[in-house]
Amino acid sequence: MNELLSPVASYYTQKIKEFGPQPKGVDWNGEDGQLLRFQQLCQVLDPAAPFSIVDVGCGYGALFDFLLDRFQSFEYIGIDISETMIETARDLHKQKPQGRFVTGTAPEEPVDFAVASGIFNVRLGGDEDAWKAYIRETLTRMNQFTKRGFAFNCLTSYSDADRMRPDLHYADPCELFDLCKRTFSRNVALLHDYGLYEFTIVVRK
């Protein structure tokens, strides 16, 4: 793990130890916002056919539970840079064979879809240019290991100035939309209308 992500892994490890497997354990305010984020990200999925999906930055596996309640046939891989998160997710879902959890940043084999919720937000003391490069590199990697599409969210640079925190990264939605549109696919959606200080980008291939 590089110097940029090591403090982030420690940050989330501390959160899950402090709050346990609940939204605060992955640094979200509450369940309502978490579910709303999942709804936006899962617009990339096609419920008409079986699919495989990687959850990049899976935390304790809340998205896996969300999918189990809504989709009939899928294979799920949750990956996270925090070993404690992965251990927690494995323990919670050990009776659910269609999901597995591994430590890392990318799967070993291609999948149909990938989603990433919140992994670009907590920059801590990392250099801003280096963090932007990390976002681009991660999206490029997600594009490479997905066959049908991917989706991700970011805090928005359109947030109210008095609510912005110096340890968080607020991305320019137009800049990332342009990157995805020019680099990954002609079929790209920018969702910035669901009431949170963030946006979701959906890339369909």
pLDDT in tens, 6-30: 999 898 999 999 999 998 889 888 8
Report the candidate in 112, 111, 13 with the shortest Cα–Cα distance to residue 60: 13
Query: How much is the average pLDDT of 110-122?
Result: 97
Whole-prediction pTM: 0.94
Query: How much is the average pLDDT of 65-84?
Result: 95
Query: How much is the average pLDDT of 111-140?
Result: 95
145-186 confidence digits (pLDDT tens): 999 999 999 999 999 999 899 999 999 999 999 999 999 999
CATH number of the 1-204 domain: 3.40.50.150
Judged by phi (left if over 0) then psi (alpha if -120 to 50, else beta), residue 47 lies in alpha
Beta strands in the chain (DSSP E): 51-56, 74-80, 99-103, 111-116, 146-156, 170-171, 187-191, 198-204
Query: Considering the chain, what percentage of its residues have pLDDT values greater than 70?
Result: 100
* pLDDT interval class at 95 (50, 70, 90): confident
Judged by phi (left if over 0) then psi (alpha if -120 to 50, else beta), residue 185 lies in beta
Q: How many helices (H) and strands (E) does the chain have?
A: 6, 8
Q: What is the pLDDT of residue 28?
A: 83
Q: What is the pLDDT of residue 97?
A: 86
Query: Is the predicted pLDDT of residue 1 greater than 70, yes or no?
Result: no
Report the candidate in 73, 7, 62 with the shortest Cα–Cα distance to residue 32: 62
Q: What is the pLDDT of residue 179?
A: 98
